[in-house]
Amino acid sequence: MRKLTNSTGHLLQLSVENTIRRNPSSADWQIVTHEFPWQDSLSLESGFADLILRSSCYLAIRAVIECKRVRDGDWVFLQSDRAEEHISQSCCCWAERANADPSTRWKDTRIHPVSWRSEFCIIRGSGDKGEPYLERVSRRLLAATEAIAMTEIGFENPDSTEALLIYLPIIVTNANLSIAQFSLNDIDPETGALPRSKGKFESVPFVRFHKNLCTDMNDVGAAGTLSQVAKRLERTVFVVNAARLLEFFGHFDIRE
């Protein structure tokens, strides 16, 4: 029975929820609900959000959390010498109600704590076939975040002053998160690999997974070039180690 019980990822979800409820350092965040049903209005994709949190300091801030448990796992995020450290900029979901008409958009927002930002994650066993694991999980979380945003902004009283809500998509995992730092010039073009003497690996508590994670071309607006299209399709998903979640929330701040 224990083996069967331990085979489920729900235990991590329950542990994360319990940590937030019981720890005084997370008092600035309240659990709104768990296992909340959502459905994308266009694709009709549906599911359940593991946890939805609300900030008691910033009343318009929400966190939509997806918990992912792995067994003896390492998630390695690539960082070349062209990447920036200590990034605060994040592309988050803004839900607004103008003239009682709800809408969402993704907007660059300065969120603390700062972290590395990466668009490539290496996960053992995810394979080369199909969409990479973290991209697949992130796309689904983004769809859930946007659907939940539309639901909540639609529930708000039209007379309320809270006509703007900001949503943070967060993946919480027990995987070890690491940054692989290297120079682009160190990559061997014949093997496509780093030599043994090159590269540095650093364990980190959280990472911004940031890339073109949206494929809905309706979101590109009046973009006139491919680079503008790519920019407007960028999204940020926060990836946080479960043991360091309170550290992430404890240093949370938003600066427009």
pLDDT band for 159, please (50, 70, 90 cuts). very low
Domain spans in the chain, listed from the N-terminal domain onward: 68-255
Q: Tell which residue, 79, 76, 78, 105, has the closest CA to residue 232.
A: 105
Contact 207, 179 (CB under 8 A): yes
Q: How far is CA 218 from the centre of its chain?
A: 22
pLDDT band for 26, please (50, 70, 90 cuts). low
pLDDT over 80 (residue 98): no
The DSSP secondary-structure symbol of 84 reads P
Sequence-ordered list of residues with C-beta below 8 angstroms from that of 148, at least 6 positions apart, any chain: 36, 38, 49, 52, 62, 64, 167
Q: Tell which residue, 63, 113, 124, 121, has the closest CA to residue 89.
A: 113
Q: Which helix (H) or strand (E) holds 248?
A: helix 245-250
CB hemisphere CA count around 92 (13 angstroms): 27
Per-residue pLDDT of 127-155, as tens digits, reads 666 788 999 999 999 999 999 999 998 87
What integer is the mean pLDDT of 56-77? 92
Q: pLDDT value at position 68?
A: 96
Per-residue pLDDT of 100-120, as tens digits, reads 678 889 999 999 999 999 999
**3-class secondary-structure state, position 185:** helix
Q: Tell which residue, 194, 79, 183, 90, has the closest CA to residue 142.
A: 90
Q: pLDDT value at position 227?
A: 87
